[in-house]
Amino acid sequence: MNKKVFARLFGELGAGKAALVASFIFSALSVIVALYIPVLIGDFIDTVAKGKFSVSKAELFLIRVALLAASSALFRWISDSLSNAVVFRTVASMRSKAYGKLSRLPVSYFDSHPKGETISRIINDADAVGSGLLLGTSQFFSGIVTIVFTLIFMLRTDLRITAVVVILTPLSLVVSSIIAKRTYSLFTDQSKKKAAETAFLTETLGNLKLIKSFVREEKTAKEYDEVSGELAKSSRRAIFASSLVNPSTRVVCATIYAAVGLFGAFSVLGGGLSVGALTVFLNYAGQYSKPFNEISAVIAEIQGSAAAAARVYELIDEEEETDGEAVLGEVRGDVSFSHVSFSYDKTKTLLTDVTFDVRAGGKVAIVGPTGCGKTTLINLLMRFYDPDGGVITVDGVDTRTVSKQSLRSNFGMVLQDTFLFDATVAENLSVGGKVASDEVAETAKITRADNFIKKLPQGYATKLSEGGGELSEGERQLLSITRVMLTKPKILILDEATSSVDTRTEAEINEALDRLMEGKTSFIVAHRISTVKNADVILVMRDGDIVETGRHDELMAARGFYSELYASQFEA
């Protein structure tokens, strides 16, 4: 899995590969220049030991060391700047792909996945990818370069002592590889626990009023403590395992340094090395073993990055909703359901054999008890889901052969649950497309929304919070209806569109909707039968089937299920 993830991450770099190569080159230059400084120090020590010290030589030594150090720092800064830019662009590209995927996923995905988990993949996991890549592109490569060039310098100084260093060093790799295998699964579990915490927070913040109304604050706080505690345990396990790398490899590094000092001291006594050369060798021994320690720590971090990247790619690779290629022309509004069957859970039957025809301009009401399939019909009509069997057509065209954009652009939909964006009133009303400000105001007057909009602090320029929490349910519903009116749809869907307004306002809205629905096919989902008396045809649903069809008077005269529903509501 790791190899596939890393290969895919490398492919994400795109044009940034050239900048990454340049970053590696400057990183190598920084290391090489820095590694030459110990040579100057060793030479200066030998000069002093031979009694050839002078102020001019000391000044030249300091100048040369300062220039080399400054050059190394400059090369490092250029390298880090290039790698950071590449990584941030790569992470931004991943986030963009993940977010773009959301619009192509079927509604069923969001029905089965918590919103917080999806958010966590795009935000937290992408951040983790960035952290791992930053370490991988900087410390990992510079560590490799350091190892290679210190080895070259040591071989030029003393072959036997270099052999001691090379023989002992693989111990670091063995230790780090054993720990790294364990840390990948631990970091994967940590990412899942982070997603669970984000999902819980998203759910509770989105339903804060409900929590308060049921006095569940204390219980919710305890539930969060449990979720947070699970994340803490998972994080401790992952961090503990990864933190074992550093002290373990430090033991190896200290052993190597001691061995070099021991063998080097005997070499100095035997005349094989000068004091300055031993100083250089000890410096290189430390520099040679240090990258192994750093690389080991980086490997643990990269394991976490790989686990996070895998979760992001899981989202990007989710199966997209199927789409047709045909484009609807000028829509009249004829709608037909022919022997349609469907169920969300394939083990439980919902719609079995739904058949009906609606002519263009018809006003259709769908009534029935809760759970009978009213909203499901709308979901199928809008192609949020496709039927398991049967055919749905608009103007005689099978909706599965039509692109969803072409289909849905002809629909206007007002749901029972309204949603407003974090934007001004005018921007919320014109979300369906660019419309003139005077048209927005005129439409708002038709829906009576203009009455309360004018009372807002800045009128149509008033900034609303996400969800429009500062407005009443009825006011939000009025804005939602106004928004749909402005799109001038060919087919209207009203799912309990007036359920949140008072009786007087409902009557005014229904009057405006009647004018809006003239010449348009309209589907009205209603629980209150009194709101659909004037429909051209009423579809009465029960247990997933249409059990009665007709006008209000006809259905009442038939004294069937519809009349029972009407009587129960009227008596209530």
Average pLDDT for 543-560 = 88
**Residue range 472-497, pLDDT digits in tens:** 877 888 888 888 888 888 898 888 76
Run of H or E including 412: strand 411-414
pLDDT at 571 over 60: no
Question: β-pairing, 491-495 with 411-414?
Answer: parallel
Q: What is the pLDDT of residue 572?
A: 43
The CATH 1.20.1560.10 domain(s) of the chain lie at 96-316
Q: What is the pLDDT of residue 184?
A: 65
Average pLDDT for 273-292 = 74
Q: What is the pLDDT of residue 296?
A: 63
pLDDT at 335 over 90: yes
Q: What is the pLDDT of residue 34?
A: 85
Q: What is the residue whose two structure tokens read 């260093």? A: 165
Whether 509 contacts 334, CB under 8 Å:
no
Average pLDDT for 534-562 = 88
pLDDT at 498 over 70: no
pLDDT at 392 over 90: yes
Helices 141-157 and 16-49: angle between axes, nearest 10 degrees: 30
* DSSP secondary structure of 245-268: HHHHHHHHHHHHHHHHHHHHHHHH
DSSP for residue 321: P
Can you tell me whether residue 501 is helix, strand or coil? coil
**Residue range 61-115, pLDDT digits in tens:** 788 889 988 998 999 899 888 888 888 888 888 888 888 888 888 888 888 887 7
Q: What is the residue whose two structure tokens read 């199928």? A: 380
**Residue range 154-167, pLDDT digits in tens:** 787 778 777 877 77
Question: β-pairing, 335-342 with 389-394?
Answer: antiparallel
Using 50, 70 and 90 to split pLDDT, how confident is the model at 285?
confident
**Residue range 21-36, pLDDT digits in tens:** 888 889 889 888 888 8
Tell me, what amino acid is at 561?
A: F
Position with higher pLDDT, 11 vs 411: 411
Whether 147 contacts 243, CB under 8 Å:
no
* DSSP secondary structure of 30-83: HHHHHHHHHHHHHHHHHHHHTT---HHHHHHHHHHHHHHHHHHHHHHHHHHHHH
State the Cα–Cα distance between residues 86 and 77, nearest whole angstrom. Answer: 14
State the Cα–Cα distance between residues 341 and 354, nearest whole angstrom. Answer: 7
Query: By CB neighbour count within 10 A (0-12 exposed, 13-18 middle, 19+ buried), where does 330 fall?
Result: exposed
Q: Dig out the tokens for 452 from the structure.
A: 């309360």
Whether 422 contacts 465, CB under 8 Å:
yes
Q: Dig out the tokens for 550 from the structure.
A: 């007709």
- Superfamily holding 335-571: P-loop containing nucleotide triphosphate hydrolases (3.40.50.300)
DSSP for residue 527: S
Can you tell me whether residue 492 is helix, strand or coil? strand
Write the CB contacts of 410 (distance below 8 Å, at least 6 apart in sequence): 328, 331, 394, 489, 490, 491
Average pLDDT across the chain, whole number: 80
The closest of 156, 144, 138 to 32, measured between CA atoms, is 144
Structure-derived torsion over alpha carbons of residues 8, 9, 11, 14, reported in degrees to the nearest 10: 160
Beta bridge partner(s), residue 356: 337
Q: How many residues does the chain have?
A: 572
pTM of the model: 0.68
CA atoms within 13 A on the CB side of 461: 2
Whether 1 contacts 301, CB under 8 Å:
no
pLDDT at 432 over 60: yes
The total of other beta-carbon atoms located within 10 Å of residue 184's CB is 21
DSSP for residue 270: T
Whether 361 contacts 333, CB under 8 Å:
yes
pLDDT at 393 over 90: yes
Q: Dig out the tokens for 48 from the structure.
A: 């002093």
Beta bridge partner(s), residue 357: 336
State the Cα–Cα distance between residues 216 and 208, nearest whole angstrom. Answer: 10
State the Cα–Cα distance between residues 202 and 227, nearest whole angstrom. Answer: 13
Looking at 1.10.760.10, 2.40.30.10, 1.20.1560.10, 3.30.420.340, the CATH number of the domain 96-316 comes to 1.20.1560.10
Position with higher pLDDT, 480 vs 417: 480
239-243, 423-427, 558-562: least confident range: 239-243
**Residue range 500-534, pLDDT digits in tens:** 666 676 676 677 677 677 778 989 887 767 667 78
Strand order in the sheet with 335-342: 351-358, 335-342, 389-394, 397-398
The CATH 3.40.50.300 domain(s) of the chain lie at 335-571
Q: What is the pLDDT of residue 119?
A: 83
